[in-house]
Amino acid sequence: MKVVYHPRFKEVYSADPASKPGRMEAICQELKNLAWIKWAKPGPADKEDLLLVHTQDHIDHIKGMGLMYEIALLAAGGAIKASEIALQEPAFGLIRPPGHHASPAGAWGFCFFNNIAISIEKLREGGKISKALIIDIDLHYGDGTANIFGSPSGVSYFHLPSGQRSQQLKSLQDYLASKADYNILAVSAGFDRHEKDWGGMLTTEDYRTIGQLIKDASDRCKGRRYAVLEGGYNHQVLGRNVLALLEGLE
């Protein structure tokens, strides 16, 4: 398992919960001494990468935010690197800011550029894949991702519905069982559904189960699978939840 991470992701670029001090540190603390995890450092995305899913006006707007723009470019670059690694082995983009609320011409919800959408389109533009499946396990619906891939595009987007724990896991299992035609499986990995986070629903073990379901489904696409960090705001449990997902994916 490769974890894509850059020390600059620790920088506090805004006052929102995704940028809160200690968030990256909580995850790194859980992962840092594990022999089965290898680390990879990303570079920033190019403007051409952003233009795969965003308008020039939107890019210019974020560019005017200074430090925010620098870190957002690096996050998009981290997602791209994770997707490229996933062609050979599973990967996780330990990045911020998150991205799934970023649409072609706008963004909200602590997001600026749609990291996972950019990474998928980069693979498609390069001819490395043609079809993809995106699973979003964040508490909030990834309207930006849905907007980008709303029309028939070869990319399917599924957001885990709310409900009882068992219902959520069953819905994911059923959805994955219904799909067979994709070249890579990507996960918008939000952890704010956890019972001690905003959603108050899933246990840490549930994230391990989700990872295992994704791993099993990736057998249909040569094992190609990766995830990128979205939400998750309780630093006391976030690291353990990320580790549980990665153990399942591995």
Number of separate domains in the chain: 1
pLDDT at 73 over 80: yes
Q: Side-chain half-sphere of 73: how many Cα atoms within 13 Å?
A: 17
- The number of beta carbons lying within 10 Å of the beta carbon of residue 198 is 17
This prediction has a pTM of 0.97
Give the Cα separation of 153 and 172 in Å (integer): 21
Give the mean pLDDT of 206-229: 98
Q: What is the pLDDT at residue 112?
A: 98
pLDDT tens string 132-161: 999 999 999 999 999 999 877 899 999 999
Q: With cut-offs at 50, 70 and 90, classify the pLDDT of residue 24.
A: very high
Give the mean pLDDT of 229-233: 98
Q: With cut-offs at 50, 70 and 90, classify the pLDDT of residue 239.
A: very high
- The residues near 101 (Cβ < 8 Å, ≥ 6 apart) are 107, 108, 109, 110, 111, 140, 142, 143, 144
For residue 81, give the CATH number of its domain: 3.40.800.20
pLDDT tens string 35-55: 999 999 999 999 999 999 999
3-state SS of 49-78 is HHCCCCCHHHHHHHHCCCHHHHHHHHHHHH
Mean of the per-residue pLDDT values of the chain? 97
Give the mean pLDDT of 211-236: 98
By DSSP bridging, strand 106-107 and strand 102-103 are antiparallel
Give the Cα separation of 228 and 173 in Å (integer): 20
Q: What is the pLDDT at residue 78?
A: 98
pLDDT at 198 over 90: yes
Q: With cut-offs at 50, 70 and 90, classify the pLDDT of residue 9.
A: very high
Q: What is the pLDDT at residue 75?
A: 98
pLDDT tens string 100-126: 999 999 999 999 999 999 999 999 999
Q: What is the pLDDT at residue 10?
A: 98
Give the mean pLDDT of 6-33: 97
Residue 39: domain span: 2-249
Q: With cut-offs at 50, 70 and 90, classify the pLDDT of residue 69.
A: very high
By DSSP bridging, strand 132-136 and strand 155-159 are parallel
Q: Side-chain half-sphere of 88: how many Cα atoms within 13 Å?
A: 5
Q: What is the pLDDT at residue 153?
A: 80
